[in-house]
Amino acid sequence: MTAAVSAASSAPLATRGLVAGYEPDLPIVKGIDFTLAPGEFVTVLGPNGAGKSTFVKAIAGLVPVHGGTLHLSGEEITDEPRHALVRKGLAFVPQTENIFATLTIRENLQVAAAILPKAERQQRINAMLAAYPDLASRPGAIAGGLSGGQRQMLATARALLVEPKVLILDEPSAGLSPKAVSEMFARLVEINRSGVPILLVEQNVRAALAIASRAVILVDGLLRHDAPAADLAADPDIGRLFLGAHADGAALAGEGTP
Amino acid sequence: MSGQILLEGLLAGAMIGLGAVGLTLTYSILRFANFAHGELLSWGAYLSLSLSLAIGAVSGASLAPLDPFSVSAALILAGLLAMALTAVLALAVDHLLFARLRGRGATAIIVVMASFGASMALRSLLEFLYTSKPAYYSRELQIAMPLPGGIRATPDQLLLIGLAFVAVIAVHLLLTRTDLGRAMRAVSENPALAGVVGIDTAKIVRAVWIIGGALACTAGTMSGLLVQIRPYMGFDLLLPLFAAVILGGIGSVPGAMLGGLIVGLCEALAVQTIGAEWRAAVAFAVITVVLVLRPTGLFGRAA
Amino acid sequence: MSLEFLAYCAFFLTVALTYAVIVLGLNVQWGQTGLFNVGVAGFVAVGAYVSALLTSPAVEGRFGGLDLPILVGWLGAFVAAGLLSALIGWMTIRLRADYLAISTFGIAVTVQLAVLNLEDVTGGPFGISLIPRPFGDLAGRSLAFSLANLALLVAVVFGLYLMLQHLAKSPWGRALRAIREDEMAAEALGKSPRRFRIEAFALGGAIMGLGGAAQAHFIGFIAPENYLPMLTFQVWAMLIVGGSGNNRGAILGALLVWALWAASSALVEALAPAGEQARAASLQTVIIGVALCAILLFRPQGLLPEPGGARRRLPFLRRWRGTPAATTGSDRT
């Protein structure tokens, strides 16, 4: 326990006994201990309904926490209001509705940049536009008109704009074309190499295992397996055991659908 | 349509539009139809009245009208103070009533019902304090000046049309050019995501009440200047306000202003062709047409 | 106890029961279905005027005055208010919930305006008088007259109550509740939420119209100022106090709020100086408005909670970690 607490006190992100769900009497996440180490790329896997999304939404303050604690770089953030989390360095990209569709591309970035010191804002927005040429070509366009892949780009750019200490993404590949998925995953690897630890919820198991360094498997709200991604990818039993009896073959073959 | 009807419509429309801009902001960001918004207009008008009398009593000389308008320096100062006080009133009602219901997770329609109760209480409180007898800012009679096209208008009327447009443009610039405005639009579209990107929604809610209250006070004071001040003045404007908001599309500031102008012009036209006694039904006719033909309004987004 | 007092009690109860009819109608719309009607006064007025036109004696220069039996008038009131409700429901129930509120508010304003302006039909500001009163031949003996009318209203309210209780337990009522609790699930079961809601809104409006007719016939005289927004407000206070969703609560609320209203009016009349009566009356409204808000805040279930205790579970705005926000993407993967 003391080892766990001290690990939590230094790790970029840690949860201790996290219980969360929409209703207090109906927990979906039922007590998860998890630590994200510096520079790590961890993917969260598990069958449908295992609580993967709820787990990361609870960390981001979108689902009420009913028990346990959350730590960001050693600081406890369990009771922090949602809007304070990003100021502390936790950036979250939701699965759906992750951009402001009625605002322009530039305004989406400006809204996020508002937490930065005034002098840095424009420079950070320009840096993000430079990193995503698709967005830079028409920053005045209404974001609601973007394609799925472009929306995901904008959402990721918005999250990275504030130079977070931790990046969390909830199924960013859902609904994207295979080409857009591979582009986005390549970008995530790049971001991770630049030093940002990433926590990624994915349905697309094979692709996720290929880019992540570690994988955790959630089943029925509990963390049931924690292993290096490469080991998991090589283990034929894991799919059968944890990823659902009928879906596992397809999922491990990389055809997992949202 | 003759020029005079156009002017009457513009005048009524400018007032409706100004009130509707505040209503559309609270509607889109707080996500409920506030039936007490009309009372913010009435309270604003009465606060301007009381403050201008108080200022006049203290300073004496400043009650003289600023030629060629009937407006005195005291009333202008009082109007500015009343805007602040109306904003405080809006914040207080939110704090005592709406915020608690939101916090408890009440459905939108419960909040609408509470606003209906608050509207009744606030209006009757005005009736108790000031009685239902009409009041006026000034007994000064204004001579209408001839304008091109055979239109006649008083200087006050022209001033108010100008002021309404300045106010609406200011709010539009605030929403599109400032951090606060962008944050307000973000909360209006998706409060959860707004929190994720670091916007403090509670702060935005306060800002919306302050802006909505100040605009309501402006609209109420203008209406009081042009017509008269009555406890029911805001309640009688509520249906035209809703018509303007729905016609413009909920959340759209230019839409609310344009909606207000259209409702005002329709009212002026109806007064001319059908008769003044049917004026109050025009707004409902507009709502009916919009809801049947285009429920999202002119500039609204699909729900 | 004098006979006059007994007659007064009967009179008071009869008026309260006419309100109970209206509140029962509102309960079908709000309590059972969750439809918010801010124009109760408009539907009550339609019922009152339609029945008055059908049953009152002919007056020169005015349309209507068909001198038909009272029962025909009441049926006409029921049908007319129901049709108007169906029309409003058809127009707005497919849209967001508060559009119905705004539309009903608009219809009440418009109905008020119409009865005031259509002098050839409604008598304009003078209203319609000589509306036949049930048991009118007893009018000379006030106690017998009052008791007969009270008995009639008790029968109407009791009959409505039994019908609504039966309806709530019928497949129709169950479908309505299912839709209110979980629209998506109900839709998946093949229920069209919109049709059921329009039906419930029409039925509620029809009952309000009936209540308006009963009131008009009992008083014998109607005028536009009887149907101001204040009436809507009173009826809402009755339902909220009694407990929305509960038919017995609706009746109890009507009796209780009407008693409070009458008592406080009498108090105002007795205590306020002659010149200040109107002001004191507005203070009375302030208190009732604040009380309505307080009940919504502190005892939203009213005196008699909804049977079964099923509270509305529509998570429109929630609170966690201090900030209110709408839920987005409630997927649980």
pLDDT at B1: 54
Please judge whether A100 and B183 are an interchain contact, meaning their C-beta atoms are less than 8 angstroms apart: no
Q: Which is more confidently placed, A55 or B147?
A: A55
B251-286 pLDDT tens trace: 888 899 999 999 999 999 999 999 888 999 999 999
Provide the β-strand partners of residue B146: B152
Instruction: Give me the interface pTM, i.e. the ipTM.
Output: 0.87
Is A201 within a domain?
yes
Average pLDDT, chain C: 83
Please judge whether B186 and A60 are an interchain contact, meaning their C-beta atoms are less than 8 angstroms apart: no
Same domain, yes or no: A103 and A155: yes
Which chains have 3+ CB pairs within 8 A of B?
A: A, C
Q: Does C331 touch chain A (CB under 8 A)?
A: yes
Contacts of A203 in chain C (CB under 8 A): 333
Q: Closest approach of chain B CAs to the CA of C4, in angstroms? A: 34
Nearest to B195 among C233, C282, C325 (CB): C325
Same domain, yes or no: A174 and A238: yes
B58-104 pLDDT tens trace: 876 566 777 778 788 888 999 999 999 999 999 999 999 999 998 88
Number of domains in chain A: 2
Same domain, yes or no: A46 and A169: yes
Burial C19-53 (b: 16+ CB within 10 A, else e): bbbbbbbbbbbbbbbbbbbbbbbbbbbbbbbbbbb
Number of domains in chain B: 1
The CATH code of the domain that includes B237 is 1.10.3470
- Domain range for residue B140? 3-293
Same domain, yes or no: A225 and A150: no
Q: Does B193 touch chain A (CB under 8 A)?
A: yes
pLDDT at A253: 40
B169-189 pLDDT tens trace: 999 999 999 999 999 999 999
Q: Does C96 touch chain A (CB under 8 A)?
A: no
Q: Render C255-266 in DSSP notation, one character per residue.
A: HHHHHHHHHHHH
**CB-CB neighbours of B113 under 10 Å:** 25
Same domain, yes or no: A12 and A50: yes
pLDDT band at C185 (very low <50, low <70, confident <90, very high): low
Q: Which is more confidently placed, C275 or C320?
A: C275
**CB-CB neighbours of C119 under 10 Å:** 13
Which chains have 3+ CB pairs within 8 A of C?
A: A, B
How would you write the pLDDT of chain A (258 residues) with one tens digit per residue? 444 555 556 899 999 999 999 888 889 999 999 999 999 999 999 888 889 999 999 999 999 999 999 999 989 999 899 999 999 999 999 998 999 999 999 999 999 999 999 999 999 999 999 999 889 998 999 999 998 889 999 999 999 999 999 999 999 988 888 888 888 899 999 999 999 999 999 988 888 999 999 999 999 999 988 989 888 888 777 666 555 444 444 444 443 333
Is B299 within a domain?
no
Is A82 within a domain?
yes
The rounded percent of chain C whose pLDDT value lies above 70 is: 89
Please judge whether A83 and B182 are an interchain contact, meaning their C-beta atoms are less than 8 angstroms apart: no
Please judge whether B199 and A94 are an interchain contact, meaning their C-beta atoms are less than 8 angstroms apart: no
Q: Does C324 touch chain A (CB under 8 A)?
A: no
Three-class DSSP labels, B243-260:
HHHHHHCCCCHHHHHHHH
Q: Which is more confidently placed, B194 or B103?
A: B194
B181 SS3 class: helix
Contacts of B239 in chain C (CB under 8 A): 105-106, 109
Mutate to test the interface with C, among B124, B196, B241 (most CBs of C within 10 A): B124
B217-234 pLDDT tens trace: 999 999 999 889 999 999
User: What are the φ/ψ torsions at residue A93 (nearest 5 degrees)?
Assistant: -115, 105
Is A187 within a domain?
no
Mutate to test the interface with A, among B196, B199, B296 (most CBs of A within 10 A): B196
Contacts of C320 in chain A (CB under 8 A): 61, 63-65
Distances from the Cα of B225 to the Cα of B80, B154, C7, angstroms: 15, 12, 52
pLDDT band at B44 (very low <50, low <70, confident <90, very high): very high
Is B298 within a domain?
no
Q: Does B81 touch chain C (CB under 8 A)?
A: no
pLDDT at A238: 66
Same domain, yes or no: A75 and A52: yes
Q: Closest approach of chain B CAs to the CA of C98, in angstroms? A: 6
For B285: left if phi > 0, alpha if psi spans -120 to 50, otherwise beta; the answer is alpha
Contacts of C317 in chain A (CB under 8 A): none
Nearest to B186 among A84, A92, A103 (CB): A103
pLDDT at B198: 95
Contacts of A61 in chain B (CB under 8 A): 195-196
Is A29 within a domain?
yes
Q: What is the mean pLDDT of residues B144-154?
A: 81
**What single-letter amino acid sits at C3?**
L
Same domain, yes or no: A175 and A83: yes
Same domain, yes or no: A159 and A175: no
The CATH code of the domain that includes A18 is 3.40.50.300
Is A188 within a domain?
no
- Domain range for residue A74? 1-89+164-179+197-252
Q: Does A89 touch chain B (CB under 8 A)?
A: no
Nearest to A83 among B182, B198, B301 (CB): B198
Is B61 within a domain?
yes
Please judge whether B195 and A115 are an interchain contact, meaning their C-beta atoms are less than 8 angstroms apart: no
Is B300 within a domain?
no
Same domain, yes or no: A175 and A76: yes
Contacts of C321 in chain A (CB under 8 A): 61, 64-65, 79-82
Q: Does A95 touch chain C (CB under 8 A)?
A: yes
Delineate the domains of chain C, giving CATH numbers in brackets: 3-306 (1.10.3470)
Nearest to B190 among A61, A92, A97 (CB): A97
pLDDT at C112: 93
How does DSSP classify residue B138? Answer: -
Q: What is the mean pLDDT of residues C102-108?
A: 92
Which tokens sit at B77? 């100062």
Tokens 């909606």 locate to B259
Q: For residue A44, give the nearest of A230, A219, A200, A234 by alpha carbon.
A: A200
Whether C190 has a pLDDT exceeding 80, the answer reads no
**Given strand A75-76, what is the order of strands in its sheet?**
A29-36, A13-20, A65-72, A75-76
Same domain, yes or no: A129 and A102: yes
pLDDT band at B242 (very low <50, low <70, confident <90, very high): very high
Looking from the CA of B232 toward its CB, the CA atoms found within 13 Å total: 8
The pTM (predicted TM-score) of the whole model is 0.87
Same domain, yes or no: A5 and A43: yes
Kindly tell me the burial class for residue C202, based on how many C-beta atoms sit within 10 Å of its own C-beta (0-12, 13-18, 19 or more): buried
**CA A182/CA C152 separation, integer angstroms:** 78
pLDDT at C141: 77
Q: Does A61 touch chain C (CB under 8 A)?
A: yes
pLDDT at A243: 55
Same domain, yes or no: A171 and A159: no
B114-143 pLDDT tens trace: 999 999 999 999 999 998 899 998 877 777
